[in-house]
């Protein structure tokens, strides 16, 4: 109970990603030191608990729509994305139609990764009448999953899902 250690390796799989990145591996570690278990604090009448702890770990985010790694198509006739060849056209049958993209394939989309770090100090004083904790916590998310508008205005779809490597979100 004086020294504490936890290590975890998590492997997550999701059918929301393509075969190239279907699995993500996320480690975590935690350390603790019950300082009140040390001999120099064994006879303390004021300090009941003093524990220093630190942890680091990663988790993955898969919160994206299903099947976005696959292409999707529709008939252009259903979307009125056609142009009449005959200037006197009156019905949809007078328009040529074909197949258009509704979603571009992105088989290389990857897990969004959040890295979390926590350092804390727990204490209890005066026969547990005063207890509390101090914490420093930081969470950084990278490889952000985002639905973006293509930079090139001439694209087969208005938006597509991708990982944005240059964005970092910190909490």
Q: Which pLDDT score is estimated for 37?
A: 87
| Statement: residue 156 has pLDDT above 90 | no
CA-closest candidate to residue 141, choices 69, 63, 32: 63
pLDDT on residue 87: 61
Distance CA 104, CA 100 (A): 10
Question: What percent of the chain clears pLDDT 70, i.e. is strictly above it?
Answer: 78
Q: What are the backbone angles phi and psi of residue 56, rounded to the nearest 5°? A: -145, 140
CA distance 116 to 141: 9
pLDDT at 133: 96
Give me the residues paired with residue 91 across strands: none
pLDDT at 106 over 60: yes
* Cβ atoms of residues 62 and 12 within 8 Å: yes
Q: CA 68 to CA 101: how far, in whole Å?
A: 12
* Reported confidence tier of residue 139, pLDDT bands at 50, 70, 90: very high
How would you label 35-51 residue by residue, b for 16+ Cβ within 10 Å and e otherwise?
bbeeeeeeeeeeebebb
- Predicted confidence at residue 96, as pLDDT, reads 57
User: Mean pLDDT, the chain, as a whole number?
Assistant: 82
Is 121's pLDDT higher than 90?
yes
pTM of the model: 0.71
CA distance linking residue 107 with residue 18, whole number of Å = 5
């Amino acid at each position: 109970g004086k020294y504490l250690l936890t290590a975890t390796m998590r492997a997550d799989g999701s059918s929301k990603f393509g075969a190239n990145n279907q699995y993500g591996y996320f480690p975590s570690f935690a350390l603790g030191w019950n300082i009140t278990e040390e001999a120099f604090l064994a006879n303390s009448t004021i300090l009941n608990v003093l524990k220093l702890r630190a942890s680091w770990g990663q988790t993955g985010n898969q919160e994206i729509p299903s099947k976005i790694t696959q292409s999707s198509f529709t008939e252009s006739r259903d979307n009125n994305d056609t142009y009449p060849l005959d200037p006197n056209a009156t019905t949809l049958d007078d328009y040529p139609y074909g197949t258009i993209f509704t979603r571009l394939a992105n088989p290389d989309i990857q897990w969004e990764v959040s890295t979390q770090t926590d350092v804390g100090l727990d204490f209890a004083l005066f026969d547990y009448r005063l207890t509390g904790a101090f914490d420093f916590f930081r969470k950084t998310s990278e490889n952000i999953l985002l639905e973006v508008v293509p930079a090139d205005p001439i694209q087969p779809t208005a938006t597509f899902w991708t990982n944005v490597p240059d964005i970092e979100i910190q909490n």
